[in-house]
Amino acid sequence: MTKHNKTLLFVGSFTDKKAGEGIHVYEFNNETGESILKSTINNITNTSFLKLSSNGKHLYSVVDSQMKYNGKVAAFKVDVINTKISLLNMQDCGGVNPAHLEIDKTGSYLVNSNYSDGSLSVFKINYEGSLEKNNQILQFKDSSVLKSRQKSSHIHSANFSPDNKYVFVHDLGADKIRRFTLNTSKVKLENQEEIKVKPGNGPRHFTFHPKGKFGYGINELSGTIDAYQYENGNLNFIEDYFTYQQKQEVYRAADIHISSDGKFLYASNRGPKEDSIVVFLINQKNGKLKLVEHFDTGGKHPRNFAISPNGKFLLVANQFTNNIIIFKINFKTGKLIKLQNEIRVNSPSSLQLKEY
């Protein structure tokens, strides 16, 4: 791919359940942390989660999330020179309220998580980036102890394992991580195994350590992070950690990412009384976490955040205050320094960054 020395920031938003400005494309300055808006995708509804292909040529977005009818997944071609994206195609996602997209390591398969009806759909990605019709829809019927949130299955996200052999699916409604293998010839997930988490945890998002030996899951309903050792398809529980500074009546832990050097883990807490990023130091030998600090996100409801490709900046999408706050990362300590410049955008809910 031609080197452009350009970093792009893609912002997906909720559009208040009607067609509006769903995706904004910015040019991001890797040295100063400043952004310039270059283009917008209009007339699209609730594009609340984005996923870039690893080569950065294509962007995928959920469409019609949080609606009462089936959502969709849209595929876009990224035009780096003109800093814009163009729609390739859109497919029915096979369920209600698509909340998360994940692409396998070969860039050939996409898995979509539907929150409201607890389903998962699998797509083949064509050579030019468009999506074939969903090849499989897995429907889950399950529940757990917190009746207000866990009456039924709620699939919040899915991750391919570092070796690309397994898909781990996070069911917030059932307190389970469901493990599958991907049959590439049939484009289907098979051989389901269940990993139970503590009742009332509500597993939401997950990230693997860059070296592939450890995995970390954030639990929305208990405000905790579970650390695991990953080996041959097995997640072996190590320990859990509290993400909030103080105990709350309700927890809304949200997003989780690891710095590219693998030293620090970051997670976001979305109120109701604390909007923060928590920073942990990762023990490289045993995967255990040590608390570094909590930092106010400078807004309300940090649903999603991202670390810049060079590892210098952390950007937080505060959905309820319509702002994206930029922090500088201290490489040695992992601590955050808030910058003055912020991005104003309606209901930001998903961030993707790529250096071209």
- 10-56 tens-digit pLDDT: 999 999 999 999 999 999 999 999 999 999 999 999 999 999 999 99
| Mean pLDDT value across residues 4-8 | 92
Judge residue 34's burial from the number of C-beta atoms within 10 Å of its C-beta, 0-12 exposed, 13-18 middle, 19 or more buried: middle
**Residue 46: CB partners within 8 Å, gap ≥ 6?**
14, 15, 17, 22, 62, 63, 64, 65, 66, 67, 71
Judge residue 127's burial from the number of C-beta atoms within 10 Å of its C-beta, 0-12 exposed, 13-18 middle, 19 or more buried: exposed
Angle in degrees, CA 61, 127, 120, rounded to 5: 40
Closest-CA residue to 291 (of 332, 251, 241, 351) = 241
Residue type, 286: N
pLDDT at position 346 over 90: yes
The model's pTM is 0.98
pLDDT at position 226 over 80: yes
The CB density around residue 199, as the number of other CB atoms within 10 Å, is 13
DSSP 3-state of 121? strand
What's the maximum distance between 2 C-alpha atoms anywhere in the chain?
Answer: 52
pLDDT score recorded for residue 121: 98
| Mean pLDDT value across residues 286-298 | 98
Distance between CA 174 and CA 166 in Å, rounded?
Answer: 20
Would you say 103 and 60 are in contact if contact means Cβ atoms under 8 Å apart?
A: yes
pLDDT score recorded for residue 178: 98
Closest-CA residue to 137 (of 108, 162, 169, 165) = 169
pLDDT score recorded for residue 4: 79
pLDDT score recorded for residue 3: 80
- Percentage, residues of the chain above pLDDT 70: 100
Distance between CA 77 and CA 72 in Å, rounded?
Answer: 17
> What's the mean pLDDT when you consider all of the chain?
97
DSSP 3-state of 319? helix
**Residue 296: CB partners within 8 Å, gap ≥ 6?**
275, 276
Tens digit of pLDDT for each residue in 141-165?
999 999 999 999 999 999 999 999 9
Number of H helices, E strands in the chain: 0, 28
Would you say 132 and 109 are in contact if contact means Cβ atoms under 8 Å apart?
A: no
Q: What are phi and psi of 321, to 5 degrees?
A: -110, 10
pLDDT at position 138 over 70: yes
pLDDT score recorded for residue 40: 98
pLDDT at position 1 over 70: no
| Mean pLDDT value across residues 181-200 | 97
Would you say 60 and 121 are in contact if contact means Cβ atoms under 8 Å apart?
A: no
pLDDT score recorded for residue 337: 98
pLDDT at position 321 over 70: yes
pLDDT score recorded for residue 192: 97
pLDDT score recorded for residue 303: 98
Distance between CA 305 and CA 192 in Å, rounded?
Answer: 30
